[in-house]
Structure 1
Amino acid sequence: MCGKIPEPVLEENGMRKLAPVLLSLLMMTAVFASIGWQELEEKAEFENTSGRTGPDVEVVEITHPRQSTEADAFSDARNIVDAGEELYFEAWIQNSGTESITQLGVEVSVFERKVNGQVGTFVNSWSHPDVICPDPFVCAQNELLPGELLDFGAFIMSVQGSMVTWTPPVGDYYVYVEATSSDANGDSNDADEDNNVQRNRVIVADWTDLSVDLEWTSGKDVEGGQDPVDFTMTITSQGSIPWDARNVIVHLTADGLMDSAAFWSDENDGTADHHNNASHREETKNPFSLGQPYNFSEIGTYGEVLIFQNASDPQDNQSDNRWNLRTGVPWVLNGTVTPDQQATAGDYTLTATIIEFTEYGRISPECDSENNADLGDGAGNETGTTTNWCEVSRIKDDNSESQTSTITGTVENRHDISVDRLVMNTGYMIDESTGEWSPAENVGLTSGPVSPGWMTIEAMVMHRGNNPAAYDAVNDEYPQEYDWNVTFTITNRSDNSVEEIHANSCEYGELYGEYGPYAPLGGMGALDERACIEYYMWPGLYDVTATANLIGKYSGFDATSFNDAMTIQSISALNNRPVVTATLGNSGTIYAGADDVASIIELSASASDVEDEDTTLKISWDLPGEMFDEDCIDLTDCVISPMLNSDWIGKGRTATVTVEDSYGLKVSDIVTFDVWHKMTAYAESASGINMSYHMEYADDTPFSITMTDSTDTFTGKALTGFSGTYDSIAVLDYSPSTLYSAGDLLNSQMTLRYDTDSLEPTSVWFVNPNGNWALIASTDDISVLGSEGTVALPATGEYILANGKIVFMGGTVIMEGIPELHPMTMTLNPQTGGKIGMQWSYMLPSGATATG
C-alpha cells in the first residue's frame, strides 16, 4: 500500500462489557453539560477548513465492488458476489482541497478478512502512479482542479491502459482504494491524508440457480393471429458448484382468450417424462385446463441417487429414488396453444412458476455436523464443523427472478408497418434534350456530406403484422393486406423550411433496383416494398425522415409507432467552389487612343465546376470604366475584345473575371496589364521654329507644350567640349504642361524644325532655370533637307525635358581634341644600391621639334 490501512472496525463488545460502558456515559453527561458547544463547533470548523489548504485528494466511496453485508434476522444478505464473477474497481475520488492536484496515484489492494473482522492475508494489489501528471504524453489528465471529481466520480482502476479485473475465489475480503497526491519532487503535498483511503468488505459465495423459461417456438415476443402456435418450456439448473435439483414442482397456467392448451409427450420414452424428443409435436397431445395450474412434478431423470453422504467418510451415505435434474442438463417441454377462434380482440398468456424443489449438495449450515477435527490453525481445536452432502427443501434459490416466466399472445390481427432502410443516391446528370437521368455515382448513402443537386431518396417498407398471409375464407379476403405510402419530410436547418412529399412506388431505385408500380403489402403481395422520390438539394444542412403510413381501412391501426419512421440527420450539402482562369490574349505593348495601332484588348476566361454542368455557370467581367462590364452566359470559354479608351490608360490595370455557379457561389480571377497612351504635342514660335514632342506614357493627364521666342541672347559663350566662344542665333522659351515619372513614361522624342534660309545652327543647347547648359544636338545631329533643318533628339523613355531655354548656337564648331604627344615605350633596369633605372620614348606631333 502507498499509505496506511485504516484500523479494523472495533470488535463487538460482549454483554459483560455493556454495564461499565453505560455507567461511564452517565458520568460524562454532567461534564458535557458545562461545555460551550458553540465554541467547539466554531473551533472544529476552523480546523477543518484551515487543515485543507492546498491539494487534498479524497477517496469518497468505493462504488464497485459494493459493500457486502451478511444476512441477519432483519434483512437478507446484500451485494454478495457470485463465485466466478469477474470484478473491476471503481471509486469516487475528488479534490477536496484549495489547490489543483498535478500528480496523483491510485492503488487498489485486496486482503482476506478474518472471522473476527480483522485484516488477514494479503491477496493482491495494483498500482497506477500516474493517473494525473504534468506530462501530456504520459497522462491523459494533467490537473484536477479544487472541487473537481476524477473521471466525473467514476474512476475505474487500470494499469498501462488496461482495466484491472479480479476473479476472486469463494471467501471474505477487504478491498482498499488509496489515492496519493505529490509535488514535482515526489513528496506528498496532501493537506489531509486521513481521507485518502476507503475500504469495502466483499463476500464471494457459491451460488445456485434453478430457472424456468417460456418461449414461442416462432421466436416472437408476442404471438398473434388465429392459427395454433407452439411454445417451449425449459427448466435448467446452474451454479458455481455441482448440485442437483430434485423433485422439482412447476406449475404451468394457460389463461386468456384461447380455445385450448396442451403439451406433447412421448409414450415410448421409458422414463415417462414429457420431453427429450427432437420434434416439437410428439406422439401424444395432453390438454390441460385453462385458468388452472397444471402440476409438473416428474422433471429430470427418475432413479436411485444419493440423498446423504458424509464429507469425511464417503462410505457413510444413504440412497433413494428421486426425480433428479442435474446441473447444466436442461429439461424441455413442447406444447401448443389454439387462440379463441370467436374473439375479435384480446390477449392470452402462459405462465410457468417453480413452486418448490429439493437441493442436494454441500449446504451450510443445513448439512453441517460437529466432529473431532484438526482445523490446522494452531489453536488446538478438538472439535470442528464438517459440511456434508444432504438434501434441503427450497421454495426459492439465489436468483428468485428466474423462477417465473410468462409469454403473451394476441388474438386480434396485429397491424404494423415499418421503415427498415433509408438511403440517398447522388451524382446524377440529366440530359437536357431527353430528360433522361444517368445512373447515380454515389449509391446507398446513409449520411452526409453530399454534393448539392439532384438526388433520389429511397425507403424500404416492411410488413410487420403478426400474420401477413392470413386468409379469411368466409369473407374471401386477406385481413392483413395493407394499403400504404411513405411521407418523406425534408427539413432545411439553414432556413427552418420543411417540405413533405408522399410516394408509394420506386421508379428511380438505385440501391434496390427498379421496381414496378404500387403494390399492397402482405396478403398475396410481398412483405417489403419500396418508395422513392426525386429531390433537388441546395447547399445547406438537412434532416430527411421517411415515415411509413397505413392508409385506407387500416389507417390509425398501426400497433407500433416507434418503427414507422427512420431519419438521416445533419446531412451537409456542400457546394464545391467553381474554378475560373483569366488570360490576356494581347502580345507586346498595348496602346490606347492612337489611330495607327490596334485599340482593342483581347481577354479570355475558362471555368468549370464539379456540381454544375458547363452551361449552368455564369461568367462576368469587371473591366476598367463603367461602360465595359460584359457577361458571358452559357459559355465556358468566354472571349471578349473591348475597345480601349482613356479609362484603360495606366500601369497595373486589371480585368476581373467572376464565375457564379447555380447556387450563387462566386469565384474570381484577375489578369493585370499596362495600357499606354501614344500622342504628339506641337508648338511653334513666332520666328517660325516649331517643335513636335512624341509621347508614350501611362497617365491620363493631358500633355502639351509651349514655345516662344526669347528676348535673351548669348554672345562669346564658351561651351563645354568645344574650343573657342560662340554666339546664339535663336533662343526659345520652352515649357511642358506636366512632367511624368520615369515609371509612367515608356518612350519620348523631341524634334525641332526651322527654316535654313534664316538660321544655320551648328549646335543646340538646353539651359535650365539655374543657368546650367547641356548639349542636346551637335552638328552631326542636325539634318538639312532643302530649306528645312531638323534637330531630332534621341528617343528616351526615362524623362521629359523640363521647362527652360533652347538655344541655337552659330559659328564654326571646334571640338576640344585629344593631345597628340604620348609616350611610346618604357623600360626598367635594376641598378646598384637598390635603385631602379627607367627609360622611355615619346612621339612628337607632326612638325614639332624636341627642345631641352
Structure 2
Amino acid sequence: MMTFLMLASVLINIGGSELEQVEIDESSGRAAEANLTTVLSPRATVTEFDGTKRGAILGGEGTQFDIVVLNEGDANITEMNIIVTVYLTGGNIAKDASGSDLQWTDSVICDDLLSCEVESLGANSYLGGGAYTVKSLNPATQLREPVEWIPVIGDYEIVFSLEIPESSQDSISSNNELMVPVSVVDWFDIEVDLRWDLDQSDDGTEAASGPADKAFTLTISLNGSTNWDARNISIALSASGDGLDAATGSDGGDLTAGHSIMAGTLNSAAIIWQDMSDDANASSPDFQQFGPRYELNWGETFTYSGIADPDSTIPSGTYKVTAVLESFLVFAQKADCAREENVTIDPGPPPINETRQIIHMCDEGLNVADDVNANSDDEIMGGVTNFHDISVVDLTVLQGYDEGGSNPAYFFKDGDTVSVGYSRIMVEVTHRGSDTSEHYDWQVDISIVDYQGTEVATYTGDSCLNGMPGGMQYSHKYLGSDADLSVADLSGFACPVHEFGNGEFTVTATVSMVNSGNTTDMASSNDDVTADFVAFNNVPIVSLALETTGDIMTGDTVTFTLSAYDADCPGGECISFNWSRMRSDGTVDEMPMCDTDDSVPGSGWACNSMAGPDWTGSNAVWVIATDGIGGESLPSYAFPRVWNLLVISDSSDDVDMTYRITTDMLTALSFTIDDLPQLTSVTLPGQTDTFSSTVAVNYTPTVSYVPENVLEQSFSIVFLGDSNGDYTLWYQSGSAWGQLSDAVDSFDSTHVMMNVTDFGGGTLAAGTLAVFEGAEAGEPPTATISN
C-alpha cells in the first residue's frame, strides 16, 4: 500500500485590528481598575527573516491559556469574565472539528463560588496570585477545568479580553484586551534510541561494565503531528574507546571503522516519481517511475542489534557506541519535484502552448534533519574494569516552607511559575559508573541567570541538612554503594537557599567530581541540567481581631491578635507586622512595642497595651503586613471602644455638687450651680400640701452627652441639714418637677449628702435642683430628666 505525504508551507497574512498602546494618567485616584497585563501562554510566534518560525506551537500538542490580570484600582472587582477567542487570518473565528467556535468564556469572578473561581479581586491584587490559567465548566463533571486547545496547522490570532459588567469597576477599557499571534506547524520526527540489552533503567543511560561481550539494540521510530512515512533513513553507527576491542552489527558491519545502515524494509519497486500534470495518463508507462527504497511507515519500528567486545587485555578503559541520523527521503509533492513543461492551453487551430512549472510527486531532495533534534542521535557508554561517571538526575524548586524552614508545600519543575522569595533549589545527583563500589566525592555548582543573560546568583552545595520534603535530611556522603549507607549512597542531594525576585530565570546545576585524584568523569553530557522559571510576588493578607471582651475602661489592658497568610511562605516566617493606632486627639501612635522584632521569634502576631486616656472613644488600631520581598498587605482594622471615668465638682454658697460619669466622649463635661432664693408654695406631683425649699440651685452644664456616649453616671449634693431630716431631692426642667432621691446620708456633723445613682439616658440637662423637707417619697418620675 502506497502512502502519500504532502508537505506544504503556507503563508498566512496576519489580520485583525492592531492593539493600541494608551498612556494612562495614574496621578488621580480611582475605584476598581482591571488591567490585562501579560499573556504567559501561548507565547507569540516570531517569524525570522529566513522564514523560520520561533516559538511556534507543534500541531496536535495541547496548549493552555495563562494570563496576568491586575486590579490596579482602589476597590474590589466583584464581577469579571475572561474571553479567549481564536481567530483565523482575515478575522473569522476559528472552529473546532465539530464546527463550534474556538471561543471560551471564563466566569472567573462573581458572587457564586460554585460557578466562579473567586468572589472578588481585591485592590492592588493579581488574579490567582500572579499567573492565572483560563478555565471553563466541564459539563460532564460540573467542575471548572483549564481550557486546553489542541490546534491544527495554521496561523492564528488569539485575543484575550476582560469583560467587566460594572462600568464603575473598570474606567479604562483600553487595557482589557491583548492579542497574541501564533503559528501552529506540522512536525516530523525520527527518534533514534540506543541502549544496552541488559540496561534496566527507565531512560536507558546505564553504563555497561565488565569484560564480557555487551549486546545492544538500536530502535528507529517515527513521531509527528500527522501520519507520515520516511524512506532511506540513513543511520551512522560508530564505536570507539580505549577499552574496546571490536564492535560488530547484526549485518556484519564494523562499527569501529564507521558503518551506515538503512532503517526500514526494502521495497524493490517503490514509486519514486509520479506525473501530476493535468493531462497525466495513469495508463502511460511514463506516469510513474520506480526504484529500490528502504521504507519505514507510520506506526512501524525498525531495530538493529550489535555486539560490543571490550578489550580484555587492558586493566581499564572506556568505550561508547553512537548512532546518528544522517539523512532521509520523503515521497511528496514538493518543490524538489518541479519541472518546466510545455502545456497546450488551446488546441486551436492553431494550437497555443506555453511553458509552465509543474510540481510532481517524488522523493528527491535529501533531508539531513527532522523537526526534533534532541532525539536524532544517541550514545551508550561502557567501561572495562571501571567506567567513572556521575550525573545530575533532577532539579526542583521547593517553596512554601513552615516557620521552622521545613516541610515545603510546593514543588516546581522546568517551565513552572514560582513565587518570589525564600526557596530552595534541590538538585539530585547519582552514581552512573559501572562499578558502584567505586566511591566518588562530589559537589554541585548552581548558576541562576535572568532573562537578559545576567548571572544573578551562584551556589555550591553538597548536602541538604534542612528543607527537604517530608522532613528528610541528607548529610554529605560519597556517591557509591555502601552496606550501611554510613559512608556512601548511590544518590546525593544539595539544596541551597535562594531568594527569587520578579522575572524570568534560567537555573543550571552542574555536578563535578572533587578530590578525585586521577579519576575523572568520563561522560560530561549528563553532568548538568537546566530549567526555566517565571517568578511572581504574592502579597500577604492580614486580619486583625480584638480579643478583649466587655466594657473597656482606661487603665485596662487591651489585647489584639491577628492572622496572616502569604503564598510565598505559608508558615508565616517571612511576614513582619507594623502596628499603629489613632489617638483621641487625631494623631497617630506607631506602637513600636507591638511591631515585629527580628530578634524575638513570633513577635508581632499579638499586642497587649494598656488603654490610657488618649484611647478614649472608638479609635482605629491597624496592622500592615510585609513579606520582606516587596509585598505589602492592605491594612486590617479594629475599633476598640474605650470608656473614661470623669469626676466633676462645683460649689455654691449653699450646695456642693459632684458629678461622676463614665463616657467615651473626648469633650470634657463641666457645669456650674448657682444658689436660688428659697422656693415657696411649691406644688409637687403626688403631694396635697405645698412646700418651701431647704436649698435650691440652678444647674447649668457646658456640654451634653447622648445616651450612646454614657456607660453609667451618678451625682451627689451636700448641704447644711440634719441627718434625721425628711428630705427629698427634686429636679425641674421646664414646668414639671420630678423626684430624684429620698436617700439621705450624714456627711459631717452639720451637713448631709443626697445621692442620685444609675439614672438612664444622657447627661442631666440644665434645670433646677431643689431639696424639700416633709414631702412624701413618691413613684419615680415618668418623664426623662436627662438628654
Which range, TM-score by smaller chain? Answer: 0.3 to 0.5
Normalised to the residue count of structure 2, the TM-score between the two structures is 0.43
Normalised to the residue count of structure 1, the TM-score between the two structures is 0.40
